[in-house]
């Protein structure tokens, strides 16, 4: 994939993080997609989708912004540093809904193939979220 195709795919991928819309989810991820997150859920496309749906239930107005985008065209990988906000409206990480608007920060590395995401490695600042939930 070209640099511009990788850029466009990563930006399109980030749009599905804008408020509980999973319409493009299947189109964006290869059937053999692998999620390399340490989230305790299946590493499959369906497991990742379930995790995203759980996030949407807890934060229905979740809105992410791209802070930085780094592209390695030769490896077909994109790294996204992002920030987000969302109002805590349902249980999350074992904490009942607080109504608080939380700040999120994280990194995603996406391996792309044939115009879709084939693998994802993602990390976010869970400790900061717990601190905000306890406040």
Predicted confidence (pLDDT) per residue in 65-99, tens digit:
999 999 999 999 999 999 999 999 999 888 899 99
The residue that leads in pLDDT, 103 or 19, is 103
Q: How far apart are the first and last CA of the chain?
A: 45
Average pLDDT on 115-130 reads: 90
pTM assigned to the model: 0.89
Is the separation of the CB atoms in 82 and 69 below 8 Å?
no
Q: Is 3-134 in CATH node 3.40.50.300? A: no
Nearest 5°: phi and psi at 9? -65, -45
The reported pLDDT for the residue numbered 135 is: 66
* Strands of 1-94, DSSP E: 29-35, 63-72, 77-87
Average model confidence (pLDDT) across the chain: 91
Is the separation of the CB atoms in 3 and 9 below 8 Å?
no
The reported pLDDT for the residue numbered 130 is: 82
Residues 20-37 pLDDT 10s: 567 788 899 999 999 998
């Amino acid at each position: 994939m070209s640099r511009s195709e990788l850029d466009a795919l990563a930006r399109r991928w980030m749009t599905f993080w804008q408020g509980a819309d999973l319409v493009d989810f299947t189109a964006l991820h290869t059937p053999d997609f692998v999620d390399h997150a340490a989230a305790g859920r299946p590493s499959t496309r369906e497991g990742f989708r379930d995790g995203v749906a759980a996030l949407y239930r807890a934060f229905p107005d979740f809105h992410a912004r791209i802070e930085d985008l780094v592209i390695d065209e030769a490896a077909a990988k994109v790294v996204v540093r992002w920030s987000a906000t969302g109002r805590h409206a349902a249980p999350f990480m074992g904490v009942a809904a607080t109504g608080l608007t939380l700040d999120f920060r994280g990194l995603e590395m996406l391996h792309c193939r044939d115009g879709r995401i084939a693998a994802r490695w993602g990390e976010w600042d869970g400790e900061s979220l717990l601190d905000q939930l306890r406040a």
